[in-house]
Structure 1
Amino acid sequence: MVLAAALTATGCTSIRQQRGYIIDPLLYNGVHAGIDNERSVRDTLGDPTFKSQFGQNIWYYVSDTNLSGPFRRPRIAQHSLLAVTFNKAGNVVSTERDTGLDKIVYLRPNSDKTPTLGRERGFFEDLFGNIGQVGAAGASGNTDSGSNTAGGG
């Protein structure tokens, strides 16, 4: 009976999962503006989680700790972000550290449909909507198939 109670109690505990960049506080705090460049940041911290695609050259190092238990969705317990901004020469201009959960966005899918622009068509309109449309695009073209304009004649 005691063994069954112990197994049941361990089954209800949360599982910690580390996702993204694994933070080493000594290295994480070792990047400084005006001293480091792209190469030194890569040598110190490794490759970033992702880089900015537009605008300034910014490298992001993102770390999350998730907790999940049986019959529950995982939730983010800790979040940390390091954003390193570089100038055109590749030197560090600024670093920004954020450890709050306030910038996390939870996306929930609407349903099994993807919203699109335009009007919605029904089943029969989809099924029979193109009747009479075949050949309509070529109707305004040249219908005189007997003339040969490529030759000199």
Structure 2
Amino acid sequence: MTVSQVKRMFVAALSATALAAVAACSSIYRNHGYVPTDEELSEVTVGVDTRDSVAETIGVPTASGVLNDGGYYYVTSRFRHYGARQPEVVERQLVAISFTQSGVVENIERYSLQDGRVISLNRRVTDSNVNNKTFLRQLLGNLGNFNPSDVPQ
């Protein structure tokens, strides 16, 4: 191999490495869920359509209310993955269709990520009323709470 060939191979390898590094740092977007378009929502008439006709016209919702009389919720999210960072929600839309007790469409609302706030649905944390007390301190602290009338005869 000549020196010029080695230089060309080195430049090609360096270029491929630089290209791979740039490609690895590009953003990747993923979409989840489904939200009907404004044209599809215009086909739903408030006060006329029912649960079944909405599901037939727009499609089955992503989620529905907790009870049978709850509304329909269509949710879509767009996530941005960038390098080794944790995915980030860059866009979220929610369409909420509420129904009357008889199952007729009462209201149609559209929300975006800017309209909402993050809430914790289920923390699964039990608060302890033991604040910086050692086991021995807890044990000795209960000595004064003894009542002889509580002991069975």
**1:25-104 to 2 correspondences below 5 Å:** 25=37, 26-43=39-56, 44-51=58-65, 57-98=70-111, 100-104=112-116
1:116 equivalenced with 2:130 (yes/no): no
Q: Residues 71-92 of structure 1, C-alpha deviation per residue, up to 9 Å, x if partnerless?
A: 3232222221111010000010
Deviates more, 1:79-88 or 1:30-39: 30-39
Cα RMSD (Å): 3.3
Displacement over 6 Å in runs of 4+? none
- Aligned identity (percent) is 18
Unaligned 5+ segments in structure 1 are: 109-113, 144-153
Partner of 2:28: 15
Give CA deviations for 1:131-152 in whole Å, capped at 9, x if unaligned: 6969x68952541xxxxxxxxx
Cα shift readout 1:101-152 (whole Å, capped 9, x = no counterpart): 32232469xxxxx58374x43251x355246969x68952541xxxxxxxxx
**Alignment TM-score, normalising by the size of structure 1:** 0.65
Q: Which residue of 2 aligns with 1:140?
A: 150
**Cα distance in 1 for residues equivalent to 2:102 and 2:148:** 55
Paired amino acid for 2:100? N
In 1, are the aligned partners of 2:63 and 2:73 still within 8 Å (CA)? Answer: yes
Alignment match, 2:6:
none
Alpha-carbon shift at residue 46 of structure 1 (Å): 0.5
- Count of aligned residue pairs for this structure pair: 131
Contiguous gaps of at least 5 residues in structure 2: 1-13
CA contact (8 A) 2:64 2:70 kept: no
Equivalent residues in 2 for 1:122-133 (5 A)?
A: 122-124=132-134, 126-127=135-136, 129-130=138-139
Q: TM-score, normalized by length of structure 2?
A: 0.65
